[in-house]
Amino acid sequence: MYGALWRVLPGPWWVRVLILLVLVAAVFAALVFWVFPWIDQFIGTQEVTVE
C-alpha cells in the first residue's frame, strides 16, 4: 500500500516527502478538530480531580 502511494505521488523524493508530511498534518488536524470532539459526545466523561 505504501509503495503504491509512493509511486502515485509526483516529483522527486523530497517533494514526495513534503506532500506526505502535509497529508499527515491534515489528517491529524481533522482528527483533532472534528473526529475526536464528535466521538467525545458518545463517551461518558467523568469529573476527576487530582489533589
Give pLDDT tens digits for 1-51. 788 888 899 999 999 999 999 999 999 999 999 999 898 888 877 777 777
Q: Which three cell numbers stand for residue 9?
A: 505521488
pLDDT at 30: 96
R_g of the chain computed on alpha carbons: 18
pLDDT at 46: 74
pLDDT at 50: 76
